[in-house]
Amino acid sequence: MTISQDPSAPLAVLVGITGLQGGSVARALFESDKPYRIRGLTRDATKFAAQAFAAQGVHIVSVSLTVDNAAGVREAFDGADIIFLVTNFNEHMDQQREVAEGKMLVNTAKAVGVKLLIWSGLEPLSALSGGKYSRVAFFDSKSEITEYAKQSGVPLSVVEAGYYASNVFEASYALRKQPDGSYVFGLPVPATTAVPVIDVAHDYGLYVRAAIEDPALGAGSEVQSGTLISFGEMVAKLAEVSGKKITYAEVDREKFIEMTGMPEYGNMLADMFQAFAVHGYYGPKEITSAGVLARKPRSWSDFLDVTPMQDF
């Protein structure tokens, strides 16, 4: 199915369409047998990703989703039946800003009378750990926005993104080359620590599509994405596929923080991994069955099969 221009088709407004999550949502709606009109938001309509979606029939709108531009956001959301929201902590690393922007986006979605708001939330790792792992700002801020959205009464589905498979390739702090040419991949948690891995660009949108289209989901639902696998198993499979000698070895927390080279960032990552190990990525919540999805998501092994190993 291509993107509909028919005014009777529901209008889905997608935040972050040029990014991993929003782009994945757009592609999943393209794949649907149901028609959607899609409006994709970006700060820069000239970007390659924005232009590529425009060529496929997406109406690209330029807008900055900041608190000082609430009127512009309202215009961008106007007429939406479905809105997909993601906030981008990584760009500014400011917890208060993420919460303020998230709340503004929720308020605006409610004000335009959206029929279904899909929010990319995460769990409150600080609260789950009784304050022990309190530095994982981007989990806590997203959970604060989730609670705010629930309280607001907007028709809401929370679709939580799993642990990006690509993180492993970006975790240069965890990888140490040994004198014999082999590698050790080390995090401050046991090898048995498991996370719900997802090829986010390929599969996150499948979960959003299910939240929209599955009658058992929709408003009031929560969806936890990904496929559980331990760091030890991930590294073993990576060694097999890449042909390199890589082993997993748990690192002492202080040593790990030193390896990151940035104490504040290192402490945040250490809290995050340790919270995953003790409380789970989704706390006590179960991962949503892949049975609700329109197709099978990629496993870690599938992801490695399509990832050029020279990247590693």
Q: What is the contact surface with ligand NAP in residues (CB under 6 A)? A: 16-22, 41-44, 47, 64-66, 86-91, 122, 138, 161, 163-164, 167
Q: Which is nearer to ligand NAP, 66 or 242 (CB)?
A: 66
Closest CA to 141 of 82, 185, 101, 173: 101
Residue 245: CB minimum distance to ligand NAP, A: 26
Residue nearest to ligand NAP (CB): 19
Q: Which is nearer to ligand NAP, 9 or 125 (CB)?
A: 125
Residue 96: CB minimum distance to ligand NAP, A: 14
Give the three-state DSSP class for 269.
helix
Between CA 253 and CA 250 the distance in angstroms is: 9
Residue 165: CB minimum distance to ligand NAP, A: 9
Q: Which amino acid is at 201?
A: A
Closest CA to 17 of 48, 44, 41, 46: 41
Residue 304: CB minimum distance to ligand NAP, A: 17
Q: Which is nearer to ligand NAP, 149 or 178 (CB)?
A: 149
Q: Which is nearer to ligand NAP, 9 or 201 (CB)?
A: 201
Q: Which is nearer to ligand NAP, 13 or 293 (CB)?
A: 13
Residue 273: CB minimum distance to ligand NAP, A: 12
Q: Which is nearer to ligand NAP, 245 or 285 (CB)?
A: 285
DSSP-derived pairing of the beta strands 194-198 and 163-164: parallel
CA 101 → CA 37, 138, 232, distances in Å?
25, 13, 37
Between CA 12 and CA 58 the distance in angstroms is: 10
Between CA 312 and CA 196 the distance in angstroms is: 21
Cα angle: 22, vertex 43, 106; to 5 degrees: 60
Residue 22: CB minimum distance to ligand NAP, A: 5
